[in-house]
Amino acid sequence: MGSIRLENVEKWFGDLQVIKGIDLEIDDGEFVIFVGPSGCGKSTLLRMISGLEETSRGRILLDGDDVTDRLPSERGLSMVFQSYALYPHMDVRDNMGFSLKTAGSPKKEIAEKVGRAAEILRLDDYLDRRPKALSGGQRQRVAIGRAIVREPKGFLFDEPLSNLDAALRVEMRFEIARLHETLGTTMIYVTHDQVEAMTLADRIVVLKDGRIMQVGTPRDLYEKPDNLFVAQFIGSPK
Ligand code: ADP
Ligand code: MG
């Protein structure tokens, strides 16, 4: 299970309001993408859902439970960070198993979960390598593997591909689509890349200045934009 509901969610940094009355319902298993220009609040909203950022007003519900005041570790969601957040001195196996180890999981269970994630991500042959001996795509897959082993109710991605070159970005886009097909887990994915949004999403949430401009399928937004902002943003990939 992994349904997520935002009720009139707001975020203030001091006097500055960056998230303004957001209502949103995400179904279990949905792939939802937040898009919008730089500074519109995508990362802040994602971090509020993960629990890394406090919610100033409103409520966040996971499978119907109010988690607004719960710690990230109590929410059952996994944030996927960019690949440069890997531990350089640990091999792939230990990078992927680290969070389970610190949570005190038995060795056998860690090995099984890491093995399964490695299989899904086709990293079986690289478990003994350190990050510096991997390609950019493999490193990003390890970063995703670290989230998979925790068997989250939902994955949260914040521009995971933004530091990769164009060819690798396309490869990883397919990889993430495949992952969603394989696991069927809820995913929220932040990007400012319209092509990524149009190709990956079940539904796209277009944000501007901390507000939702429109929510819909890629096709809805493309064919029936509610306003000029959405039309321009979706219609003109940079
Ligand atoms: P995006 O991810 O869409 O580029 P962010 O969520 O990072 O946007 O930022 C939204 C707004 O909130 C920006 O104006 C940013 O400067 C501001 N902001 C983000 N984090 C902080 C913070 N810790 N303190 C003050 N302002 C912040
Ligand atoms: Mg951001």
Each residue of 18-43: pLDDT tens digit? 999 999 999 999 999 999 999 999 99
How far, in Å, is the centroid of ligand 1 from the Cα of 131?
30
pLDDT score recorded for residue 81: 78
At 236 the pLDDT is 61
Q: What's this model's pTM, rounded to 2 decimal places?
A: 0.93
Instruction: Write out residues with Cβ below 6 Å of ligand 1.
Output: 13, 16, 18, 36, 38-44
Handedness of CA 166, 172, 174, 177 (dihedral sign): negative
Residue 146 has pLDDT above 90, yes or no: yes
**Res 237: pLDDT:** 52
Atom of ligand 1 nearest to the CA of 14: 25
Q: From the CA of 35, which ligand is nearest?
A: 1
What's the CA gap between 125 and 20, in Å, rounded? Answer: 47
| Shortest-distance atom of ligand 1 to CA 53 | 23
* Residue 231 scores a pLDDT above 70: yes
